[in-house]
Amino acid sequence: MVKMRFMSIEEACRYLDNSIRNNATLVCIGTYIRSDDRAALELCTKIIEKHGDADVILCEYGLEMCVDIIIEKRKNKIVILDAIITPIHTNSIALLSLNEVADTLLLSTHTIPLETTLGYLKTFLGDLEVEILGIPVKNLEIGFEMSSEVRELIDKLVQCLK
């Protein structure tokens, strides 16, 4: 698996394009009522609009809400898109391996820890490859609008996707 690193928008676009082309399942986590926490859901909704054939799961409220759908798909690779808390806010996306989740500031608004849910999935799917794209967020207050910085980052990602 990869080590955590920050990618430019162009690198993140290539990564997403390759993931879509190679039929990985994009699992997008967030909450619409917590401002920037909706970033992955917004990005993936736009990916669905642009790439109707992309394998995307919108997972509102947490990964644990979608385990049945992920198991049913029987894929060997998932890419989780979620918000992260990090001092780096603009023009970069974090790429993390499953092993690095506990050591990062991954946004943890979800009921069950990510490591627990992924461990459960692996009991059903065996050698499941998991990578995580972390979208740096700024505002996690209750609200229905993303901050301008996060909105701009999402828009740039969508524009450069093929």
pTM above 0.85?
yes
DSSP state of 124: H
Structural domains of the chain, ranges and CATH numbers in brackets: 5-160 (3.40.50.1450)
Q: Exposure pattern of 5-41 as b/e (b: 16+ CB <10 Å)?
A: eebebeebbebbeebbeeebbbbbbbbeebbbbbbbb
Average pLDDT of the segment spanning 84-93: 78
Cα distances (angstroms) measured from residue 127 to each of 10, 24, 65, 141, 157: 29, 14, 21, 37, 30
The mean pLDDT value of the chain amounts to 85
Cβ-contact 53, 80 below 8 angstroms: no
pLDDT, position 10: 94
- Residue 47: its pLDDT value, please? 94
* Alpha helix ranges (H) inside the chain: 9-21, 39-50, 67-73, 114-125, 148-160
Q: pLDDT for 30-80, tens place per residue?
A: 999 999 999 999 999 999 999 888 899 999 988 888 999 999 998 889 999
104 has a pLDDT exceeding 60:
no
Per-residue pLDDT at 1: 43
Task: Express each pLDDT in 110-124 by its tens digit.
Answer: 556 777 788 888 888
**74: nearest Cα among 23, 134, 131, 2:** 23
